[in-house]
Amino acid sequence: MRTQVAIIGGGPAGSLLAFMLRRAGIDSVVLERRSKQYVLSRIRAGVIEQGSADLFTELGLGKRMSSEGFVHEGVAIAFAGNCQRIDFQALTGKHVTIYGQTELQYDLYQALEASGCMLVDEVQHVQVSDLDSGKSHVTYEKEGQTYRVDCDFVAACDGAHGIGRVSIPRDKCAVFERTYPFAWLGLLSHTPPVSDELIYAHHERGFALCSMRNEGLSRYYVQCPADDDVQAWSDDRFWNELCSRLPTEIAARLVTGPSIEKSVTPLRSFVLEPMRYGRMFLAGDSAHIVPPTGAKGLNLAVSDVVYLHEALVDHYATGAMSGLDAYSDRALSRVWKAVRFSWWMTNTLHRFPSDSPECAFNQRLQVAELSYLLDSEVAQLSFAENYVGLPY
């Protein structure tokens, strides 16, 4: 098989890139390790920056998001027993949209099918070869048979555990990483959200977040030890812990119920540089991971795809490699700004282990950071600008 761009990974980044390339008349093949049903069943975050939402609308992918998503013009910060709202719309003229990644993935798969894009799921043993030549190709197995895809370029959109990242020789890349000493315990329930907008809570017992998927589906998180066992958390224990970390008036109106799903998510910052090796380009989680605190993971994947799409369109229109040569630096500039914001939110809102000699000092800094944020319109403007999304 011959195509112009072989895309590894059929999640949001790979699906979006394939769809955008198809609109530009550029052929691609998407290879996905999991089944379509599995991909569509994954529970993921759903805070969409305005820039991402505008892009989906421009591409004709925003119909369901517009009718079923929730526009949030601010978030609340719970601190020292109080809860204060930061007004994104007033500060920046922008907002975010709450729309589950599962729903976005469904929209993308529908669009791929309607446009005739080729997606091969349940592939195994994917390998990339000859990335430093004009004879790049990808091989994979499906149902016991081996297939080969010859291509001009490879887009590795296959996440943190994909073949793209590990195919780069260790001496050809640099890794920047921080692992946090705690995790998020998340609970999904068929209950009305406690608030119309997200609530981020800083408490001496640890961080908490009140989020939602829709009017009748809530998503809540509490900070827990990194090695915690989800089986140790009954529903009652979770609800009691969440209430203890929220201001009294918010906890009083919390509606509890049986969990649909509970999971423990470790927190990690990771960046690989450069986001390119020969004729292979990395996008999304294959190149960078951020803690979920700043809601940047999906949105960074979108901006990577925008940059890579522009560079590929320019190459096929003019033959120039300048856009592709600049892709990594251009993407990383925005990536590191999002990494900084997610790191700042994580460090400011979470309770770090008390056995650290810097613990008391850091706790005082957290109080100072939050007090400054909630007292200063300038600080709130900076927070809002980063949360709604920096320009592409």
Catalytic residue status for 296: yes
Q: Nearest to residue 157, comparing CAs of 265, 17, 331, 4?
A: 17
Q: Which of 94, 137, 202, 296 is catalytic?
A: 296
- Of residues 99, 180, 200, 220, which has the active-site annotation? 200
Closest CA to 265 of 290, 240, 296: 290
The verdict on whether 38 is a catalytic residue reads no
E strand or H helix that includes residue 71: strand 70-72
Catalytic residue among 12, 72, 94, 137: 72
The answer to whether residues 218 and 211 touch, using CB atoms and an 8 Å cutoff, is yes
Residue whose entry in the numeric block shows the structure tokens 């940047």: 296
Catalytic residue among 292, 307, 327, 350: 292
Q: How far apart are CA 228 and CA 13, in angstroms?
A: 31
- Measuring CA to CA, which residue among 2, 89, 3, 5 is closest to residue 315? 5
Distance set, CA 123 to CA 120, 126, 286, 326 (Å) = 7, 7, 18, 31
Residue 292 appears among annotated catalytic residues: yes
Helix pair 377-388, 322-349: axis angle to 10 deg? 130
- Give catalytic residues, as residue numbers: 72, 200, 292, 296, 387
